[in-house]
Structure 1
Amino acid sequence: MSRLPAVKVLITRPKQQAVRLAEQLAQAGASPIMVPLLTFRTRTDKENQMLSQQGNRFDWLFFSSNNGVEHFGVLVSKFSELENWKHCHIAAVGQKTAEAVERVLGRRADLIPDAYTADRLAEEFSAAYDPANRILLIQGNLSRPALSNGLRENGYAFEKMVVYDTVEEKCNQELLNKVLQKDQPEVLTFTSPSSIEAFHSFISQAEMQKEQLNKLCLVIGPTTEEAAKRHGFHNILLPAHYTTEAMIDALLHYYEQRTGE
């Protein structure tokens, strides 16, 4: 089995998700360093309390992330019942989101696109289903408009339910700067554009920020890759599939090529 060299890998994703990635990296031979830059908070406003009880108004639920599934589950369990939503078909942007649907909602996704992007999900749904379907998009406050734009362009009406907010973990700003100065990780990992935004806003010195741009920047998917490019990273690694497991595979392949194995 291939193993990573003992490189230091910075993990910036939220703590509840960072632990599993750290375990996987350690098993592969790397030295993970966790500095969560973001956290997620369920949005429990009156609008969501009411909407969580109105499953009869919809035919399809669209989930564009694991987080959307988790926080939708929190809202429904707190203010309603899963029984109210059991008739709805479910579309999930990728396999990991579909697994979250099964774990949290006890359901199997009815539609998973062959490429794990919101654009592809909108495209495949539009090719197969009637515009008369009543759709609820389950999202976070920073969700990209690709899915809603794709559905709208193909004549679908829908409602949005923003079930969580992405919040910067400002309490970890000092920790991040210490880690970058003292531990000097060789690999930086990002699993969302907002994690890259937080990373750059947290770094206190312009010179240190500039130094990070030459490090290996491992991203989970194309939207995060776009954010990395906008911020000036020079060495970006994008996996073939948009999962954390694929990120580790891409990192293994990267170092195998460097060592000539």
Structure 2
Amino acid sequence: MRKDRPLIGETVIFTGTPKSVEVFERVKQYGGKPVSLPLIQVAELKGTTDELRLQACRTYDWLIFTSQSAVAAFGAKMERHGVTSATIPSKIAAVGTRTAEALEKLGFTVEFIPTVFSADVFVKEFKPSETTIRRILFLRGSIAGVTITEELPYAVDEWTVYATERVNDSVDTLIEVVSKEPRVSVLFASPSAVTVFAEEVVPQTGWRGFTIGAIGHVTEQALLKLGAPVHVRPDTYTLMDLVEKLTGRKEG
């Protein structure tokens, strides 16, 4: 095996929907075969009050985004209703550099990112300099946890802008690949994907015989609770860093 192509012969399965092709290209660069078999999908939630809620955003001191999916849904609403970032003077907080980059593409300036890209670290580190914060809005998904809302020492309103749903179309292919391919890595970016995999794939394959990667300690904990080994977890919670961590393991 060539040291500069440690993923030769490795099928790398992404169980979420990557937001860019960069991670696929990186897997190919290292000699691996990237395969997208999403177990969850997200879709914007549209409502009759969307325009009013967009207009109300300007009344909040801070807007909080914890995922690129929330940014994408929010951006779609802005475009549909002719709203620009210039009309929303609120300060912006983002969990993760990719989420921040997506917000910057919409014209926002991100003023806070936690050192670890997770909600539990966010609530510990989010300490704005303002002496008085009146209103905060959390732009969330349908299955987001309560950490942001309940553990910040401020009044936090919520707006659910997208829904997360399970996808069963990939299950049969996943079972076949995991069962038959000699070298497989399965990458998880959320507890939701872990749940679907455990319910639909594991009864046929078990948790052994393939490498398991997780983005973030929350996803890692979800795997461990279900009896799965976690072989790789990057210190920085992005798909690209997970691929790099996987590559480092395969080099060794």
Output the TM-score relative to the length of structure 2: 0.89
Structure 2 residue 171 is the aligned partner of structure 1 residue 173: yes
Work out the CA distance in 2 between the residues paired with 1:235 and 1:84.
44
Work out the CA distance in 1 between the residues paired with 2:151 and 2:86.
27
TM superposition shift of 1:87: 0.7
Q: What is the CA deviation profile of residues 4-27 of structure 1, one whole-angstrom value per residue up to 9, with x for unaligned ones?
A: 23112111112x537432222111
Q: What is the CA deviation profile of residues 189-210 of structure 1, one whole-angstrom value per residue up to 9, with x for unaligned ones?
A: 011111111212222x72x332
Decide whether the 8 Å contact of 2:178 with 2:210 is kept in 1.
no
Determine which of 210, 226, 229 is the counterpart of 1:234.
Answer: 229
Work out the CA distance in 2 between the residues paired with 1:5 and 1:30.
4
Work out the CA distance in 2 between the residues paired with 1:199 and 1:143.
19
Match of 2:197 in 1: 199
- Structure with the largest fraction of helix: 1
TM superposition shift of 1:131: 4.7
Decide whether the 8 Å contact of 1:41 with 1:166 is kept in 2.
yes
Work out the CA distance in 2 between the residues paired with 1:186 and 1:179.
8
Q: What is the CA deviation profile of residues 163-218 of structure 1, one whole-angstrom value per residue up to 9, with x for unaligned ones?
A: 10011122222322232333355211011111111212222x72x332x3452211
Decide whether the 8 Å contact of 1:221 with 1:242 is kept in 2.
yes
Structure 2 residue 90 is the aligned partner of structure 1 residue 94: no
TM superposition shift of 1:83: 4.8
Decide whether the 8 Å contact of 1:188 with 1:215 is kept in 2.
yes
Which AA in structure 1 matches 2:131? D
Match of 1:147 in 2: 148
Match of 2:217 in 1: 222
Q: What is the CA deviation profile of residues 68-112 of structure 1, one whole-angstrom value per residue up to 9, with x for unaligned ones?
A: 111111112213512574311100112111111111x21220111
Query: Which structure 1 segments of 5+ residues have no match?
Result: none
Decide whether the 8 Å contact of 1:219 with 1:237 is kept in 2.
yes
Tell me the secondary structure at the aligned position of residue 130 of structure 1.
coil
Tell me the secondary structure at the aligned position of residue 238 of structure 1.
coil
Matching of residues 69-84 of structure 1 within 5 Å: 69-83=71-85
Tell me the secondary structure at the aligned position of residue 74 of structure 1.
helix
Cα pair distance change 1:19/1:184, threshold 3 Å: farther
Superposition CA RMSD, Å: 2.2
Tell me the secondary structure at the aligned position of residue 127 of structure 2.
helix
Matching of residues 1-261 of structure 1 within 5 Å: 2-6=4-8, 7-14=10-17, 17=19, 19-83=21-85, 85-103=87-105, 105-126=106-127, 128-151=129-152, 154=153, 156-183=154-181, 185-203=183-201, 206=203, 208-210=204-206, 212-257=207-252
Aligned residues: 249
Cα pair distance change 1:53/1:127, threshold 3 Å: closer
Q: What is the CA deviation profile of residues 4-51 of structure 1, one whole-angstrom value per residue up to 9, with x for unaligned ones?
A: 23112111112x537432222111221222212111110002344431
Tell me the secondary structure at the aligned position of residue 161 of structure 2.
strand
Work out the CA distance in 1 between the residues paired with 2:19 and 2:113.
22
Which AA in structure 1 matches 2:161? V
Decide whether the 8 Å contact of 1:214 with 1:234 is kept in 2.
no
Decide whether the 8 Å contact of 2:179 with 2:205 is kept in 1.
no
Q: Percent of counterpart pairs with the same letter?
A: 27
Decide whether the 8 Å contact of 1:8 with 1:185 is kept in 2.
yes
Output the TM-score relative to the length of structure 1: 0.86
Tell me the secondary structure at the aligned position of residue 46 of structure 1.
coil
Work out the CA distance in 2 between the residues paired with 1:18 and 1:197.
24
Tell me the secondary structure at the aligned position of residue 159 of structure 1.
strand
Q: Which moved more, 1:186-195 or 1:4-13?
A: 4-13
